[in-house]
């Protein structure tokens, strides 16, 4: 199995982060936001053989709620199974470290993004108009633990 190594995200990683042109604006906008948030969040660069396969970040927003970002590189198809396994592990780790009952994210409204997030266990909650850095819409997704009240 291919091993993914995680390093703390540094802005210099953007120089070696190869991403599809359609995702470049979102990635760079997110990285600038991460820089401004500083120590409030946890960002990582996930690498195989010196190549960044995805970058990620999370920040607790309210008690029990965590916002996550994941940006894939052009290398994800080459290492698909290793990346899927690692992202699922990472989401579980984030949930445990933050005692999260809800993990939320957003994606572009493409079928590819929708399939990826659904495969990871996220449920689509709707679409936000003019949300992305380029002014485009974004779909909002979450993974929620059942609340005690919903079990009674």
Domain boundaries along the sequence of the chain: 5-151
Distance between CA atoms of 67 and 33, rounded to whole angstroms? 13
Does an H or E element contain 34, and which? helix 21-37
Burial of 78 (0-12, 13-18, 19+ CB in 10 A): middle
| N-term to C-term CA, the chain | 43
| Domain spanning 5-151: CATH 3.40.630.30 | yes
Q: How far is CA 122 from CA 84, 106, 116, 146, in A?
A: 13, 10, 9, 14
pLDDT for 15 equals 74
The two three-digit tokens of residue 45, written as one number: 């660069």
Task: Give the model confidence (pLDDT) of 3-43 as tens digits.
Answer: 888 888 777 777 777 776 666 666 666 666 655 555 556 77
Task: Give the model confidence (pLDDT) of 113-142 as tens digits.
Answer: 898 899 899 999 999 999 887 788 999 999
Does an H or E element contain 35, and which? helix 21-37
pLDDT band, very low/low/confident/very high, at 152 (cuts 50, 70, 90): very low
Res. 49: pLDDT tops 80: yes
Residue 104 β-bridge partners: 67, 142
Residue 8 β-bridge partners: 44
């Amino acid at each position: 199995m291919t091993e993914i190594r995680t390093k703390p995200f540094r802005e210099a990683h953007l120089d070696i982060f190869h991403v599809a042109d359609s995702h470049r604006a979102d990635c760079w906008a997110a990285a600038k936001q991460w820089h401004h948030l500083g120590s409030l969040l946890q960002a990582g660069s996930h690498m195989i053989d010196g190549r960044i396969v995805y970058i990620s970040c999370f920040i607790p927003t309210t008690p029990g709620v965590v916002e996550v970002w994941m940006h894939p590189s052009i290398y994800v198809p080459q290492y698909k199974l290793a990346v899927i396994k690692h992202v699922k592990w990472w989401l579980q780790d984030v949930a445990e470290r933050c005692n999260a009952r809800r993990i939320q994210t957003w994606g572009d409204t493409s079928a590819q993004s929708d399939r990826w997030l659904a495969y990871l266990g996220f449920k689509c909650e709707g679409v936000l108009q003019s949300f992305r850095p380029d002014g485009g819409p974004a779909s909002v997704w979450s993974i929620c633990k059942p609340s005690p009240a919903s079990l009674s």
